[in-house]
Amino acid sequence: MGLLSRKASCNSHGQDSSYFLGWQEYEKNPYHQLHNPKGIIQMGLAENQLSFDLLEAWLAKNPDAAECKRDGQFIFRELALFQDYHGLPAFKTALVDFMAEIRGNRVTFDPNHIVLTAGATSANETIMFCVAEQRDAFLLPTPYYPGFDRDLKWRTGAEILPIHCTSSNRFQITASAIEEAYRQAQKQKLRVKGILITNPSNPLGTTITRAALDLLINFISDKEIHLISDEIYSGTVFSSPGFVSIMEVLKDRNLEKTQVWERVHVVYSLSKDLGLPGFRVGAIYSNDPTVVAAATKMSSFGLVSSQTQYLLSVLLSDKKFRNYYIAKNQKRLQKRQRKLVSGLDKASIGCLESNAGLFCWVDMRHLLRSNTFEAEMELWERIVYDVKLNISPGSSCHCSEPGWFRRLKSFVNSKSHQELKSLRNGPHRIQKWISRLFQSFHDQR
């Protein structure tokens, strides 16, 4: 081991989290309706497969985009050669136009301020490299996406401290919770460089209120720190209240061209809104020219392929299709969310009221043998190994209350609700119910 770096042998990646362990168990024994009907069903991975048919139909009508053609002529050689890491101008222009449209064109984005990255994972790590040193801290409201422990910390050496939010007010961010997290950082002699939020939230499936966004702006202004707003689910909002971008709040408060304006950064990707995580397309948007310049240099380590950029520039430039896709996808998400919530309600299992994203934040506190995280893990293991269903326990999302679980809502149908009674009545009932839901999903496709 002496010939390897400390990074190669350290255990700070977070791979031993139950969030990732659930994936590993699924990969060992994946469900297949014909070949492995008793395998584990994956409901812990944030993939939106609801509207692939719309994308496939568009590709069938626009074969030139995927075949490296422009106006019927091959441009393979143009795309195959090395491209400047600033990205294809046509794609960046189409992307910022799409981002503005999702936000009701209440804000606009300058393509010169956007940096392309290989997904939001790369975007979040890159912005962290730009604004934080080792042992600097970022505050994150809980519960938060488990992958942040890897994305923000593993290679950068930065620290994460939780802003503890609770079910008493639907996990909303409060001034007292922010101040307490800041005090904890000071006690640990950590320099707080900023706050990172996900809006809409993963795992809550909710949008952050305008009041909370104002609160955050006031706090970072007072403390002279950064705010990173991860808005990768911004196009998935399917019911009120609507989505409010942090950029809209800055504009409404006439904070353009101020120091606060330059300390707010947005992360975006097409992985969730368009259901394209395999395309690895993410972006950083910043009003700080130094951050843009530094992030652009760093992006050379994780470029988006020219072929991908070309295909998506054509797709996103089709405004009629992209408007249709977003509206249709939102309706499908809402329909699935309602079916899942209704089915769980009939089984006496509640969910946090949600209006966005791909998840339901499921309340199983009444199924715990005790109000402890040990009991939560026991319940999670039973769900994974006996019920054969991979969902994420709240502890993996740093929830401060045992008994909450993150469940993907893409694989849902309303059949056989009565079969899901209670985990305490035996896991076979849930296995049978979930299997039928999964079968119904495939039947619909």
- Decide: pTM greater than 0.85: yes
Is 230 one of the annotated active-site residues of the chain? yes
Q: What is the mean pLDDT of residues 320-340?
A: 93
Residues 183 and 106 in one domain: yes
Domains contained in the chain, number: 2
Do 39 and 94 fall into the same domain?
Answer: no
Among the candidates 274, 289, 320, a domain finishes at: 320
One domain, residues 384 and 236: no
Please pick, among 136, 149, 151, 230, the residue that the annotation labels catalytic.
230
Same domain (yes/no): 299, 194: yes
Mean predicted confidence (pLDDT) in 150-156 = 91
- Say which of 163, 195, 232, 391 is annotated catalytic: 232
Contacts of 358 (CB under 8 A, 6+ apart): 46, 47, 48, 202, 205, 233, 236, 272, 333, 408, 409, 410
Residues 199-224 have a mean pLDDT of: 96
Are 32 and 149 found together in one domain?
A: no
* Separation CA 408–CA 360 (nearest Å): 6
Q: Does any domain span residue 58? A: no
Which of 26, 31, 145, 310 is the catalytic position? Answer: 145
Choice among 140-144, 151-155, 166-170 with the minimum mean pLDDT: 151-155
Q: Is residue 101 part of a domain?
A: yes
The answer to whether residue 421 is catalytic is no
Residue 60 lies in a domain: no
For residue 24, what pLDDT is reported? 79
Give the pLDDT score at 425: 44
- Paired with 184 in beta bridges are none
Question: Which tens digits make up the pLDDT trace of 18-58?
Answer: 667 776 788 888 888 889 888 888 877 777 888 989 999 99
Please give the full DSSP string across 123-139, using - where no structure is assigned: HHHHHHHHH--TTEEEE
Asked whether residue 426 is assigned to any structural domain, the reply reads yes
pLDDT of residue 423: 37
| Dihedral-angle region of residue 160 (phi above 0 means left; psi in -120 to 50 means alpha; beta otherwise) | beta
Work out the angle at residue 304's Cα, subtended by the Cα atoms of residues 84 and 133, and round it to the nearest 5 degrees: 90
Structure tokens at 403: 């008994």
Rounded CA separation 293/283 (Å): 14
Q: Kindly give the pairing relationship between strand 359-363 and strand 350-351.
A: antiparallel
Contact of 271 with 123, CB cutoff 8 Å = no
* pLDDT score of 205: 94
Q: Cα(152)–Cα(158) distance, rounded to whole angstroms? A: 7
Catalytic residue among 92, 272, 388, 409: 272
What is the distance, to the nearest Å, from the Cα of residue 391 to the centroid of all Cα atoms in its chain?
15
| Same domain, yes or no: 362 and 315 | no
For residue 419, what pLDDT is reported? 35
Q: Quickly state the pLDDT bin for 422 (edges 50, 70, 90).
A: very low
- Residue 272 appears among annotated catalytic residues: yes
**Residue 14 has what pLDDT?**
61
66-94: pLDDT as tens digits: 888 788 888 777 777 777 778 899 999 99
**Domain limit, last residue, from 300, 320, 340:** 320
Check whether residue 316 and residue 399 sit in a common domain: no
- Which residue in 208, 226, 209 sits closest to 217, CA to CA? 226
CA distances from 38 to 24, 128, 392, 432 (A): 16, 42, 20, 10
Q: Where is the domain boundary, 320, 347, 372?
A: 320
Predicted pLDDT of residue 69: 78
Residue type (1 letter), 259: Q
**Residue 183 shares a structural domain with residue 36:** no
pLDDT tens-place string over residues 214-233: 999 999 999 999 999 999 99
The pLDDT score that the predictor gives to residue 370 is 94
CATH number of 313's domain? 3.40.640.10
Is residue 1 situated within a structural domain? Answer: no
Q: Are residues 395 and 297 in the same domain?
A: no
Q: Where are the beta strands (DSSP E) in 254-340?
A: 264-269, 282-286
Q: Is residue 355 part of a domain?
A: yes
Mean pLDDT within 317-345: 92
Neighbouring CB atoms inside 10 A of 32's CB total: 11
pLDDT at 440: 43
Residue 189: φ, ψ to 5°: 60, 40
CATH of the domain at 408: 3.90.1150.10
Whether 288 is catalytic is no
Mean pLDDT of the chain: 87
pLDDT at site 8: 76
Do 373 and 302 have their domain in common?
Answer: no
Domain enclosing residue 166, as ranges: 66-320
Q: Decide if 265 contacts 228 (C-beta within 8 A).
A: yes
State whether 143 and 281 are in the same domain.
yes
Q: Tell me, yes or no, whether 61 lies in a domain.
A: no
* 80 shares a domain with 186: yes
